[in-house]
Structure 1
């Protein structure tokens, strides 16, 4: 019998959840965006929000959907989430969040949820609230609605390179195409074309009232090493700060030194460490 204080949260606790998410606006950004858009009613969402703690003292939340994302999870919360989840079939494609929580969960869940396809234990979480000193690339702009088909091959290449599997493997890529299309419609996809080909792309994959989180940053292989990334990212950051949120954030693999140098030049500062377990 489960005795740990973990429960599925409902709409009556939405204010408490939002206040908790405000305490970790960068690592909890994806959860905050979903709660803001769809609330906590399970029938209106693509996942569930679990809570640790009493109704008067909510201490941590954990998103359970396509991803598993613990937020502000202490050791007791990690143990409680793991106790609950170990008895359930794994449906998520990844576990992502603050490194201590993700690795703590994975240590407890690996025997029933494993094996993992990849574990990335050290992903620096970065943020900035300042317009970059780097001059922005004037050729970086929003992707227009009629350009989705031109952008999509680059998005697939980025995803495959970053995640290690193709987004076309599931449902022939229809779901991923819709995701790219939605970002374009929302004005959250950026591109630089040269002779009709994508040489740089990035998206604001998550937008909350606290931060705009950049993902999907990609430079075409033949353009790497030419020094275009910093100015391109500066254009993205400048626009995101102006149009979407008071900060811009992202996370990056620790071994991607070239990208980390670009982000440092654009004014990003460390905000902790994330980890990702990929299935």
Structure 2
């Protein structure tokens, strides 16, 4: 058996955790947002954070909740984290983060947690810190709370297309609708409306002191290829840089060439590589 150096972290080590997350402002954004909001106590987070390394030299982190997210995970940390969770029933819907760490974790966990529904091994992680050179679409704006009934069908369509299953399956409609409503209330949901329906949308799904991470990008299939997404993303970038964070980031599947071209035209540059294992 491996001698496990990983351990459950608590609020007493919050400073060390935040310093480690600061070293990976884009790759660690999902964990950094949650730590900033609720600290490290599992009972506040409905998740656990494991650390690898001594109290004086914290080397790696692993968030274990609805998603499993490694941050700065070394080879030894990956093995330690995997051993800690391999004996538990899988409770997460995905493993996501730095490609090397995610694929390393999956190589350890696949025998007990497999099979996966999909493995996406190459997802460019991209960021921008200046306004896009593309003229922003003036019709893209923040969604109002009274517009959720128009946004929700587009959000479901995006999720289903991207993930491969509907977020409303198995009784998930209420929780997914509340998630969309939460993004609207937080002024993180953007859309372009035409004749009472959404034709472009995007959200700032993660916000930290370093970056606002775009997710949920979707264009009406009948209107793709006409520049809506490019001008729409430029509008989201402009508002996010002005109002939310000093940079904007996202990750995209390597095979989604149209989306990658949109982000490149908007001025995003690759800063890392993610991978995702979906269950």
Same fold (TM over 0.5): yes
* More displaced stretch, 192-201 vs 168-177: 168-177
Q: Deviations over 1:99-154 (max 9, x none)?
A: 00000000010000000000000000000001001110000000001001110000
1:187-226 paired onto structure 2 within 5 Å: 187-226=187-226
Q: Does 1:73 align with 2:69?
A: no
Q: Does 1:21 align with 2:21?
A: yes
Gaps of 5+ in 1: none
User: 1:107 aligns to what SS in structure 2?
Assistant: helix
Contact conserved, 1:14 with 1:39, CA < 8 A, in 2?
Answer: yes
Contact conserved, 1:10 with 1:40, CA < 8 A, in 2?
Answer: yes
Q: 1:138 to 1:165 in 2, by over 3 A?
A: same
TM-superposed deviation, 1:172: 3.9
Q: Deviations over 1:50-76 (max 9, x none)?
A: 100111110001000000000000100
Q: Deviations over 1:200-229 (max 9, x none)?
A: 000000000000000000001001011211
Q: Does 1:151 align with 2:156?
A: no
TM-superposed deviation, 1:84: 1.1
TM-superposed deviation, 1:171: 2.2
TM-superposed deviation, 1:2: 6.2
Contact conserved, 1:95 with 1:278, CA < 8 A, in 2?
Answer: yes
Could you tell me which residue of structure 1 aligns to residue 124 of structure 2? 124
Could you tell me which residue of structure 2 aligns to residue 44 of structure 1? 44
TM-superposed deviation, 1:170: 3.2
Q: 1: CA distance between counterparts of 2:128 and 2:33?
A: 19
Could you tell me which residue of structure 2 aligns to residue 161 of structure 1? 161
User: 2:169 aligns to what SS in structure 1?
Assistant: coil
Contact conserved, 1:29 with 1:208, CA < 8 A, in 2?
Answer: yes
Could you tell me which residue of structure 1 aligns to residue 244 of structure 2? 244
Gaps of 5+ in 2: none
TM-superposed deviation, 1:4: 1.6
Q: 2: CA distance between counterparts of 1:9 and 1:270?
A: 31
Q: Deviations over 1:178-217 (max 9, x none)?
A: 1000000000000001111110000000000000000000
Could you tell me which residue of structure 1 aligns to residue 84 of structure 2? 84
User: 2:4 aligns to what SS in structure 1?
Assistant: coil
User: 1:89 aligns to what SS in structure 2?
Assistant: coil
Q: 2: CA distance between counterparts of 1:170 and 1:62?
A: 28
User: 2:69 aligns to what SS in structure 1?
Assistant: strand
| Aligned-residue RMSD, C-alpha | 0.8
Could you tell me which residue of structure 1 aligns to residue 231 of structure 2? 231
TM-score of the two chains, using structure 1 as the length reference: 0.99
